[in-house]
Copies of this chain bind each other. A is one copy, B any other.
Amino acid sequence: MGLESSIAPKLRRPDRRPKHTPGSYQPPYPSFSARFGDEVDAVVMASFGVQSRDADDPRAAAALGEMREARSAHDGPGSVQRARYIDAQGYTTTIDTAYWSDPRAFERWFASVGAAWLDPDRVEDGVGRFLELVTPDLERFETIFSASDRPEGVAEVGTEMSGMIEEHAYWGSMRDRLPLAQTDPLWPSGELVVTGSGRVRDVRLHGNACLIRSGQDITDTGDRERDLYLSTVEPPLRAGMDFLRDEGGSIGCYDNRFMVVLDEDDQPTDRTFGMSWWRDMAALEDWAASHLTHVEIFGAAMRHLSSFGPETRLRLFHEVTVPTDVQQRFTYVGCHDETGLLRAR
């Protein structure tokens, strides 16, 4: 079977050194990466959040309604996914994760309608709003999908899926998929900066912090696979996500959210994802490879996949981003002190 590098042709370096000899490795199952148009040199990943103590606060619903309206304006995002979780402080948090493949379109949209949504004058007490903005160039993120027929996340603003890729299913493959890692060790650089106080606060992480959004979709599973997933995979996954949320700081995880994707009527679907920020890719790798909470997740997922083999209908994907210090910015308005990257201080 023909395999190709996860790294798009125009980003491949002749002297790259993946762990396995290019052309020689046969992964045990197929995976795919998103491809982007030739004109794309950077993307926008924007998380617009609404936070309220009371899940049914009508002001939160109003803020979300405003966002739904704003995102349909001209130059709006190419893709949006709404998802929800309850944070460690008990606040219901709903986030629209929006993607643009053209940063200039984002800038026009934001100037026109996006910024107004975050205007402190519109943010009511007890119903915080935030924007977590990441604008990586193509060298600074990578994606992987277990199936090529349903793009998710940033892939929805891509042009197509790659063929079957080489760099997956072995430890270190995440790094081998990230184009910049061909030439850069991705060490953290510079300082985290928090500005503002009171109602409006901005965070800018140091360079080479690492964001992962890692999702699972059981929409297409039959009863037997769904039952097995819910009874054997989901519990350790939830335990690991809780660990990262509550104790992640001890291992370089600044924040973690385990979210349920919502449908058009804001009802929960069969799709979930974890979204976490890390000091650097190495800290994420260390947790994934060595920490008991992830060893349990990994073991459960392996047993699940080997139970169903090619009949598996569970879908998995992730996207991992390592922005520079100026490719990210986090703005919290009227949010509590432990919200998102405010915890990274």
Please give the residue numbers on chain A whose beta carbons come within 8 Å of chain B beta carbons, in ascending order.
Answer: 17-21, 24, 169-172, 185, 187-188, 282, 285-286, 289-290, 292, 295, 298-299, 302
The docked-state distance in angstroms from the alpha carbon of A281 to that of B170 is: 12
> A185 and B290: CB pair below 8 A?
no
Asked if B286 and A171 make an inter-chain contact with CB atoms under 8 angstroms apart, the answer reads yes
Please report the C-alpha to C-alpha distance between residue A65 and residue B187 in the assembled complex, in whole angstroms: 55
* Contacting pair B285 A19 (CB below 8 A): yes
- Would A188 and B21 count as touching, CB distance under 8 A? yes
Closest-CB distance, A310 to chain B (whole angstroms) = 19
Chain B contacts for A290, CB-based, 8 A: 169-171, 298, 302
Contact of A295 among B19, B21, B187, B295 (CB under 8 A): B295
Smallest Cβ distance from A299 to chain B, in angstroms? Answer: 6
Residues of chain B lying within 8 A (CB to CB) of residue A302: 290, 292
Given contacts A19-B282, A172-B285, A292-B302, 17 further A-B contacts (CB under 8 A): A17-B185, A18-B185, A19-B185, A169-B290, A170-B282, A170-B286, A170-B289, A170-B290, A171-B171, A171-B172, A171-B285, A171-B286, A171-B290, A172-B172, A289-B289, A295-B298, A295-B299
A213 to B299, CA, bound (A): 26
The answer to whether A171 and B289 have CB atoms under 8 Å apart is yes
- A187 proximity list for chain B (CB < 8 A): 20-21, 24
A24 partner residues in chain B, CB cutoff 8 A: 187
Q: Which 8 residue pairs spanning A and B have beta carbons closest together?
A: A171-B289, A17-B185, A21-B187, A19-B282, A170-B286, A20-B282, A171-B171, A289-B289
Chosen A-B contacts, 23 in total, with CB atoms closer than 8 Å, are A18-B185, A19-B185, A19-B282, A19-B285, A21-B185, A21-B187, A21-B188, A169-B290, A170-B282, A170-B285, A170-B286, A170-B289, A170-B290, A171-B171, A171-B290, A172-B172, A172-B289, A289-B289, A290-B298, A290-B302, A292-B299, A295-B298, A295-B299
Question: Can you name the residue of chain B whose Cβ is closest to the Cβ of A25?
Answer: B282
Q: Tell me which residues across on chain B come within 8 A of A188, comparing CB atoms.
A: 21
Interface centre among A19, A285, A299 (most CB of B within 10 A): A19
Complex Cα–Cα for A167 and B285 (A) = 14
Q: How far is the CA of A172 from the CA of B292 in the complex (A)?
A: 17
Bound CA–CA A24/B282 (angstroms) = 12
CA distance in complex: A185, B17 (Å): 6
Residue of B nearest to A16 (CB): B185
CB distance from A15 to the nearest CB of B (A): 10
Contacts of A17 in B (CB 8 A): 185
A185 to B21, CA, bound (A): 8
Smallest CB separation, A78 vs chain B (Å): 34
What B residues does A295 contact at CB under 8 A?
295, 298-299
